[in-house]
């Protein structure tokens, strides 16, 4: 993988203190699970263009946002994170759910570079070059 996503990158994006090692294993597992799958959806022509540092930064940011968003979703699903209570009109509970927003933002960033948007080679290949010639048919065809 040419693009490198680290645990520190995800922790920074999720606003988790770098000294907190509670989620390091979960983050590393998520990176190793998701990054290859996300990179597979990106067209090779963009992924392998390592000389274009701005493009690589954009791809890294999109992948980082998707992985970070998924991590925040996993945190929200942990026991006790969805609880809230109210006292005298003040509600204390879960933080605003940023996971889906980050996932959508990363997906939008990567959208122009996906394989599914690239033309199929079979559809764009020139099958014959008969420009400027008259079609000749046999008598049976006419």
C-alpha span between 24 and 76 (Å, rounded): 16
Chain center to CA of 85: 35
pLDDT in tens, the chain (142 residues): 579 999 999 999 999 999 999 999 999 999 999 999 999 999 999 999 999 999 999 999 999 999 999 999 998 876 555 556 566 666 665 556 788 999 999 999 999 999 987 665 445 555 555 666 666 666 665 5
Q: What are phi and psi of 26, to 5 degrees?
A: -65, -40
pLDDT of residue 121: 47
**Mapping DSSP to helix (H, G, I), strand (E, B) and coil, where does residue 13 land?**
helix
C-alpha span between 83 and 50 (Å, rounded): 45
Identify the CA nearest to 78 among candidates 16, 17, 26: 26
């Amino acid at each position: 993988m040419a693009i490198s996503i680290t645990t520190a990158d995800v922790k920074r994006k999720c606003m988790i203190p770098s000294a907190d090692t509670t989620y390091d294993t979960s983050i590393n597992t998520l990176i190793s699970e998701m990054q290859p799958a996300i990179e597979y959806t990106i067209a090779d022509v963009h992924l392998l263009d390592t000389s274009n540092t701005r493009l690589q930064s954009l791809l890294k940011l999109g992948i980082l946002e998707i992985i970070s968003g998924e991590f925040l979703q996993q945190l929200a699903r942990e026991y006790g994170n969805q609880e809230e209570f109210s006292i005298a009109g003040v509600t204390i509970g879960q933080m605003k759910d940023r996971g889906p927003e980050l996932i959508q933002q990363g997906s939008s960033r990567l959208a122009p570079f996906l394989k599914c948007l690239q033309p199929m080679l079979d559809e764009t290949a020139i099958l014959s070059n008969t420009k400027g010639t008259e079609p000749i048919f046999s008598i049976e065809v006419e």
